[in-house]
Structure 1
Amino acid sequence: MIEFSLDEIARITGGRLEGADATVSASVVTDSRECVPGSLYVARVGEHADGHTYAPAARDAGAVGVLGERAVDVLPTVVVENSELAFAKLARGVVDAIDDLEIVGITGSSGKTSTKDLLGAVLAQFGPTVSPHGSLNSEVGVPLTVCRLEASSRYLVAEMGASGVGHIEYLTKIAPPKVGIVLNVGKAHMGEFGSVDAIAQTKGELVEALPEDGFAVLNVDDERVRAMASRTKATVVLVGLGEDADYRATNVEVDTSGRASYDLTCPAGTARVRLAVFGEHQVGNSLSVIAAAVSLGLDVERVVEALAGAGATSRWRMEVHELPGEITLVNDAYNANPDSMRAAMRSLAHMGRERHSIAVLGEMRELGESSFDEHAGVGREIAALGIDELYVVGEGAAPIAVGARAAGMSAERVHELENADAAHDALVRDLSAGRILLLKSSRDSGLRLLGDRLVEEAGTSAFPATEVTA
């Protein structure tokens, strides 16, 4: 964090300082438990909690001040009308205080977090880089990331999510990007947006915010993303498998570990790209990373070399664990929508080409009226891919089983479980050595924690899968 006095923060946010001035020299946080000596604590008021009540804990942890909507007795307070909006203003003040900072914004219905992990790892090879921890992509998450910048920071990667029209436009005012990456337009949050066209309209707010000397990196293989070229004054850079892509992947290969490689053709030359992350869907993500990095003036050969060593840093995204008995567990259960679910199943099919493959799937949430059809469609995809076994967890995911059976998957290979605990017991009982299983669901469906539990128990008496069975 760049050092600011509380008085300066009051000026940036339009607030007033109640109490003695002090210097914020450490992190800016919204969770009092994350305070360290020199922190600024942002007290938010939500439906279920009032952050001001945790000011004593923030003080005890070393915070020097509070940004809040009323003064607190225990710490100097910058009092503002709305702490969330003031936090955004503070973050923009941090951006404006850094010379020569290059910002890349990333959005899409799926793949944002994996792409920002790859891009963050690549840019870090060229200069001090800040990218989000986990999936900090909201009106609170983006300021939290921005406030980690230091005076020496060269690159900022900003993941930008949305659950409504105008959300991404709001985020671009906090972290105005020079490069904007739009990965895809899918059906995530259909229940909130109402239509895929509304989702596309919102995702395109990123490219509308780009300056004339900026770059819009667009997925040529997604018609709605490609159409965003008309919505930006920036230079358009197309990426994908299509023949007219500026950054194109050909001769894509996926090995039995699930890692992809491909031939890259781009204006800067050609190269063979080998990825350390898992899943064929990472091809498109990595093309966007290469295009963004080269658009910032970086050498394509060094970018490709950096990509070869870039792994996932965020939890529960194609997280691969090798367990006793030559069992492979892939935990990809941080989030799920129809597109990312199908991508994960294709990855499982690649990784399980020579093994018995098992899909453990939970509910995809926020799909609205299309929920049954979308879940059933995933089931049909599983049957078509030839995945050997399916565990469907929870009532909301039940249509996956319906679709799989309707598409010809035999009933004895489709298991329906009431909840994650029941799935745990069934897997521990039935899982045999040499198999590969992939867990996928929306975050709150609980399968990410089931995956952690299975990993923790591996090799203990609670996880006795050691015999190879047919």
Structure 2
Amino acid sequence: MIAMTMGEIADAVGGKIVGGDPATLVDGLSYTDSREVTSGGVFFAKPGEFTDGHLFAPQAVERGAALVVVDHELELDAPQLVVADVVDALGDLARTVIAKVREAGILRIVGITGSNGKTTTKNLLGTILSRVGQTVAPRASFNNEVGAPLTMLEVTDETRFLVAEMGASREGDIARLIRMAKPDVGVVLKVGLAHAGEFGGIEATQRAKSEMVTDLSADDIAVLNADDPRVAAMAPMTRARVLWFGEDGEDAPDRVRATGVRSGRAGTAFRLHLPDGEERDVAFRVLGEHHVANALAASSAAFALGVGIDDIVAGLESVTRAERWRMEVVGNARGVTVINDAYNASPDSMAAALKTLVQLREPGGRAIAVLGEMSELGDASGAEHDRIGLLAVRLGIDQVVVVGSGARRLHISTINEGSWDGESAFVETQDEAYSLLASMLREGDTVLVKSSNSAGLRHLGDRLGELFS
């Protein structure tokens, strides 16, 4: 964070200083997890769903917090800033810091949203931009009203690029983040059924994602996915210049596009085309053809910021995995390959992962899908689990193992569609799944573990990875 006095921070968030000197300078990082606090940092005692950050304020002080932001005064041997709402204060401070850094004139901001692919795209873009200037990008999936401002607070006067991943659980969430840091380049990847249950349907999801571009100015750039009709429909909603990306469109030289896409166990190769006529072959080592769209989105944002094709390609080729637990090869020994993709799952990403599994199946080997619940689908949940079960059969996947009662309907649909004898198995727990798979897997097998984060199958994937590493 840029250096600010306690008085300046108090003014930014509308708080009252207790036990501190307003003239004291603070320039450490900001945290909501007391275990991560470093000396000189600011600890925001955020109330949580299961606990309250105020309970951990003493630990934050022990670790060297220079200032603790609270919604009521505590008995602490450290300066406190008492505010009405800790999360609102975090956002207010982020907005103030971004505005101050903007005054230096070099900071450019990219906002990224979409139902799928946000984290992968921000990782790719962050890697590309880091080649040409100091870049701040989120850790993990820091994309909500807490994670996004924490990332924003990492900028300094030397920061050239801020990559802001902007997620949403309801309409208005993205608009709130944009008020903290309005993008120069706004990227919309896809509108799908992820979190549709929270939004209240796909139309509400589309409205929420469109918040990324509706407030852009005529000097800004909206990067839109030409292959997604719901994203493409956002073009008339923005004053910004539109830069399209997509795998389709050989007759559209003004878009960022890919041709000659070829997927395999080493990743995905394609030829990248930019609107200025430049083109290069890309050896993209991230597994899954569906990640080409994310590579195109990152390339588009970089191109919009003036980055040349050589740096774009070098950045893409240096990335070896999308993110932890996203199409990550965690085991590849004794002839068995384990791919852990269980950090998140929507119907679109589940379908893409299953298609990738079939593409990666070894000649003569088996494709085995270990699947858990896709959460937050609302009324569409049953039908979408049915659809994935049917898809698994139609793709010719050799063995399906369904884990957890929330995904049982997927198992039933698989059986009904395939009339199989044992090719789909259902177990209630991860331990049961591990025992079954440990006895079942053999040389030549390629195993995909896929579920929503709440189902926790990423831990099962790691256990299988250790077994075959």
State the TM bucket, normalised to the shorter chain: over 0.9
Alignment-derived partner of residue 12 in structure 2: 12
Alpha-carbon contact 2:124-2:315 (below 8 Å) kept: no
Alignment-derived partner of residue 88 in structure 2: 85
Using the alignment, how far apart are the partners of 1:356 and 1:121 within structure 2? Answer: 35
Q: Structure 1 residues 47, 273: CA separation in 2 closer, same or farther (over 3 Å shift)?
A: closer
Using the alignment, how far apart are the partners of 2:220 and 2:166 within structure 1? Answer: 17
State which of 109, 114, 120 in structure 2 corresponds to 1:108: 114
Using the alignment, how far apart are the partners of 1:409 and 1:337 within structure 2? Answer: 26
- Give the drift of 1:409: 5.9
- Give the drift of 1:47: 4.5
Question: Counterparts in 2 of 1:133-148, with a 5 A limit?
Answer: 133-148=139-154
Alignment-derived partner of residue 223 in structure 1: 229
**Letter of the aligned partner of 1:175 in structure 2?**
A
Larger mean Cα displacement after TM superposition, 241-250 or 90-99:
241-250
Give the secondary-structure state (helix, strand or coil) at the position aligned to 1:237. Answer: strand
Using the alignment, how far apart are the partners of 2:134 and 2:120 within structure 1? Answer: 20
Alignment-derived partner of residue 56 in structure 1: 58
- Give the drift of 1:263: 2.1
Q: Structure 1 residues 409, 352: CA separation in 2 closer, same or farther (over 3 Å shift)?
A: farther
Question: Counterparts in 2 of 1:165-184, with a 5 A limit?
Answer: 165-184=171-190
Alpha-carbon contact 2:330-2:461 (below 8 Å) kept: no
Question: Counterparts in 2 of 1:19-418, with a 5 A limit?
Answer: 19-21=19-21, 22-74=24-76, 75-98=78-101, 99=104, 100-243=106-249, 244=252, 246-257=255-266, 259-268=267-276, 269-312=278-321, 314-354=323-363, 355-408=365-418, 410-418=420-428
Structure 2 length as normaliser, TM-score? 0.94
Give the secondary-structure state (helix, strand or coil) at the position aligned to 1:168. Answer: helix
Using the alignment, how far apart are the partners of 2:317 and 2:186 within structure 1? Answer: 23
* CA shift digits 1:109-132 (9 cap, x unpaired): 111111111111111111111111
Alpha-carbon contact 1:118-1:312 (below 8 Å) kept: no
CA RMSD of aligned residues (A): 1.5
Using the alignment, how far apart are the partners of 1:396 and 1:440 within structure 2? Answer: 14
Give the secondary-structure state (helix, strand or coil) at the position aligned to 2:20. Answer: coil
Alpha-carbon contact 2:272-2:281 (below 8 Å) kept: yes
- Give the drift of 1:397: 0.8
Q: Structure 1 residues 409, 208: CA separation in 2 closer, same or farther (over 3 Å shift)?
A: farther
- Is 1:453 the equivalent of 2:463? yes
Alignment-derived partner of residue 2 in structure 2: 2
Give the secondary-structure state (helix, strand or coil) at the position aligned to 2:234. Answer: helix
Alignment-derived partner of residue 445 in structure 2: 435
Larger mean Cα displacement after TM superposition, 40-49 or 176-185:
40-49
**Letter of the aligned partner of 1:81 in structure 2?**
A
Give the secondary-structure state (helix, strand or coil) at the position aligned to 1:250. Answer: strand
Larger mean Cα displacement after TM superposition, 11-20 or 116-125:
11-20
Using the alignment, how far apart are the partners of 1:409 and 1:310 within structure 2? Answer: 41
Give the secondary-structure state (helix, strand or coil) at the position aligned to 1:348. Answer: helix
Using the alignment, how far apart are the partners of 2:49 and 2:441 within structure 1? Answer: 43
Alpha-carbon contact 1:104-1:158 (below 8 Å) kept: yes
Using the alignment, how far apart are the partners of 2:466 and 2:3 within structure 1? Answer: 41
Alpha-carbon contact 1:191-1:366 (below 8 Å) kept: yes
Q: Percent identity?
A: 43
**Letter of the aligned partner of 1:42 in structure 2?**
F
Larger mean Cα displacement after TM superposition, 238-247 or 72-81:
238-247
Give the secondary-structure state (helix, strand or coil) at the position aligned to 2:182. Answer: coil
Give the secondary-structure state (helix, strand or coil) at the position aligned to 1:411. Answer: coil
Alpha-carbon contact 1:117-1:312 (below 8 Å) kept: no
**Unaligned ranges ≥5, structure 1:** 460-470
- Give the drift of 1:250: 1.7
- Give the drift of 1:242: 2.6
Question: Counterparts in 2 of 1:458-469, with a 5 A limit?
Answer: 458=468
- Give the drift of 1:321: 2.3
Using the alignment, how far apart are the partners of 2:428 and 2:435 within structure 1? Answer: 11
* CA shift digits 1:2-60 (9 cap, x unpaired): 22221111011121211222332322001111111101110112344332222211111
Alpha-carbon contact 1:362-1:442 (below 8 Å) kept: yes
Using the alignment, how far apart are the partners of 1:378 and 1:405 within structure 2? Answer: 12
Structure 1 length as normaliser, TM-score? 0.94
Give the secondary-structure state (helix, strand or coil) at the position aligned to 1:407. Answer: helix
Using the alignment, how far apart are the partners of 1:372 and 1:411 within structure 2? Answer: 23
Using the alignment, how far apart are the partners of 1:418 and 1:280 within structure 2? Answer: 31
Q: Structure 1 residues 374, 149: CA separation in 2 closer, same or farther (over 3 Å shift)?
A: same
**Letter of the aligned partner of 1:115 in structure 2?**
T
Give the secondary-structure state (helix, strand or coil) at the position aligned to 1:426. Answer: helix
Give the secondary-structure state (helix, strand or coil) at the position aligned to 1:317. Answer: coil
Alpha-carbon contact 1:23-1:38 (below 8 Å) kept: no
Larger mean Cα displacement after TM superposition, 392-401 or 135-144:
392-401
Give the secondary-structure state (helix, strand or coil) at the position aligned to 1:428. Answer: helix
Using the alignment, how far apart are the partners of 2:336 and 2:257 within structure 1? Answer: 35
**Letter of the aligned partner of 1:366 in structure 2?**
E
Larger mean Cα displacement after TM superposition, 432-441 or 264-273:
264-273
